[in-house]
Amino acid sequence: MTLFSKLQRVRAERDRLVAAGIDPFATAIEEIYSPTEARIQGRRVILAGTNNYLGITFDEACIAAARQALERNGTGTTGSRMANGSYAGHKALEMELAAFYEKRSAIVFSTGYQANLGMISGLVGPGDVVLLDADCHASIYDGCRLSGADIMRFRHNDVAGLDQRLHRLGERRERTLVVVEGLYSMLGDRAPLQEIVAVKREHDVMLMVDEAHSLGVLGAGGRGAIEAADVMADADFVVGTFSKSLGSIGGFCASDHPELDLIRYVSRPYIFTASPAPAVIGAVRAALAALQARPEMRRRLWDNAERLYARLEALGYAVGPEPGPVVAVTLDEVPRALALWQGLLAHGVYVNLVLPPATPGSRPLVRCSVSAAHTTAQIDAIGDAFAALGEVLEGAATAVQP
């Protein structure tokens, strides 16, 4: 046995894919033409797997803000937020995020992953309990592990299961954090937040909601699932990322609890990571302003999402439980998922391939990310590619209904 022995199984799986001419994890986007088009493997393709929900990555105001910040403040901070990495822009963005979510304050992290890692590990510790939805993102699980708290799961969106577990905790409920996502990234389904909040109130526990995939997508003002469900005041901690609707990179947490500011002194991912570059902060601030000033982007996104979802459902694919910016097709076995992913790329459509164990129910899926920047013609072309593959692959790409 060596340090590399545990990687041999991974090597075998990778070699099997490469031998079959399929290597999705090494696929490079060679050139970007727009928020919705790029060159991959030498051909022009439609991008339908980028999480660029509002299509804002080429927005002129965002690019101008990034350029201005770059020229004024340089390429990077070269330090953490606790050292020399808190610029005026970082503080301004925190104030703008707090105002956006109608919260007392906010903290900006270097990535969305670190926002979950830093907040959970800073809030809870040994002897505490984190009660989380089983389908939560890996960053949430890793934050729990880093914290040393006891981890308890309830079945995905099972409010009765959440209630039962809280009853069993007894007095430990005082030291319990419940964590859910507003919109889940694999199948695109939402958390039943009104019901979850009712349970939270009954047991008087704290609730963290990860709005990574629902920021800019849900709610009248784009504030996410908590706004759509009218429970903004009940979310003790709102965590999110800048790498989806805001078209950049970074993460945040907003809260009404004054103790949020103390997280800066105990969160290792916050203390020991270099802060976001000035150009990133400039772009995010402009994107957040655009999100609020241009609701038509969100309307276009939903028009596109509902159009693609309806088309794939009509074709007989096993899509997620409801329309949304994530339109996932679940397959019954890995070879069919690989064939579908490869076939779509050959037809000029790039999507995400997700394989077990990272998928709900351990079933492979291909995942489309819809954007406000997609044209109706592009949405129809994506649907046409799925339609063609359902026939050409003689069932290899046709999903089996759960």
Whole-number Å distance between alpha carbons of 278 and 76: 6
213 is catalytic: yes
Query: Encoding tokens for residue 72?
Result: 């004024």
CB atoms within 10 A of CB 252: 26
Q: Which of the 8 DSSP states describes residue 106?
A: E
Which residues does 281 contact at the CB level (< 8 Å), separation at least 6? 69, 87, 89, 90, 93, 108, 250
Whole-number Å distance between alpha carbons of 63 and 287: 10
Catalytic site residue from 103, 200, 213, 347:
213
Catalytic site residue from 137, 203, 244, 374:
244
Contact 363, 340 (CB under 8 A): no
DSSP-assigned letters across all residues of 258-277: GGGGGGGGT-HHHHTSBPPP
Contact 128, 179 (CB under 8 A): no
Catalytic site residue from 121, 185, 248, 267:
185
φ/ψ of residue 140, rounded to 5: -70, -45
Please, where are the H alpha helices in 229-375?
268-271, 278-293, 296-314, 334-346
How far is residue 311 from each of residues 76, 236, 315, 319, 363, measured CA to CA in Å? 45, 38, 6, 10, 22
Contact 83, 228 (CB under 8 A): no
Beta strands in 35-148 (DSSP E): 37-40, 43-47, 105-109, 129-133
Contact 89, 285 (CB under 8 A): yes
Beta strands in 129-255 (DSSP E): 129-133, 150-154, 176-181, 206-210, 237-241, 251-255
N residues, the chain: 402
244 is catalytic: yes
Pairing of strands 176-181, 129-133: parallel
34 is catalytic: no
Contact 79, 68 (CB under 8 A): no
Give me the active site residues, please.
185, 213, 244
